[in-house]
Amino acid sequence: MSELTQHREFVTSSFMYRFIRGMLIFFFARICRWRLQGLENVPKDGPIIMAFNHASNWDPMILVCASPRKVHFMAKKELFEVPFVSYIVNLAGSYPVDRSKMGRQALKMSIDILNQGKVIGIFPEGTRSKTGEMGEAKAGTVMIAAKAGAPIVPVGLYNSQNVFSGGWFRPVSVCFGSPIYLNSDGGKLTSKDMHELSEQLMTTIAALVQDAKKML
């Protein structure tokens, strides 16, 4: 592939990303009447992990649109093999993860992206909550933050599971918390340290969810 072709593809994908994101922002702002708070807490440059509660399939789209910086998400590798869907996940900056090798592969790819000064989005619970209640955090978020030397920006989303409910679109709110910097001495954290920090992270996110609830 020539450099000119690569440049054209980059320009096209950048335009399509901005266009689709712009349409979604219009949807969330005008139709769902979202409320945003704490955007000033997001560092303007450098690597960041955005950690948020996950109660709806709308959550990644909401966070991508609400964040002032582009957010990259893990996505199961099977999505990259489906026509059109693969185009969308690539366009969004997602990266494939083999669920059978989730731990090591996800860790490496996430750190590589953070080492480029980019932003990744992670739900510390590891999966979507089917009840809307927050579950126990896995240690992965803290481990990645420690190894990459990246701050964690906790994010609370409220009412995302009801974006479309009762035959109409409902308001959602997003609250960004202050960055959390880990004093991990080069990423050397004990299992106990990671467990305690993960619990503290979930407590912070839970408080932000309550703050987001008050915004509606």
CA distance 15 to 7: 12
Please state, in angstroms and rounded to a whole number, the distance separating the CA atoms of residues 48 and 181.
10
Q: Are 41 and 208 in contact (CB under 8 A)?
A: no
How many domains would you assign to the chain? 1
CA-to-CA distance for 62 and 41, rounded, in angstroms?
A: 17
pTM assigned to the model: 0.88
pLDDT, mean over the chain: 86
Q: What is the pLDDT along the chain (216 residues), one digit of tens a residue?
A: 554 444 444 445 788 889 999 999 999 999 999 999 999 999 999 999 999 999 898 998 899 999 999 999 887 778 788 887 777 777 777 887 776 665 677 788 899 999 999 999 998 987 777 666 777 888 889 999 999 999 999 999 999 999 988 778 999 999 999 999 986 555 578 888 888 999 999 999 999 999 999 999
H or E element at residue 15: helix 3-26
Dist. CA 97–CA 102, nearest whole Å? 6
Task: Find the domain containing 98 and state its range.
Answer: 3-214
Judge whether 175 and 208 are in contact, CB under 8 Å: yes
pLDDT in the model for residue 101: 60
Which segments of 27-69 does DSSP mark as H helices, in order?
Answer: 59-66
CATH code where residue 117 lies: 3.40.1130.10
52 neighbors 155 (Cβ within 8 angstroms): yes
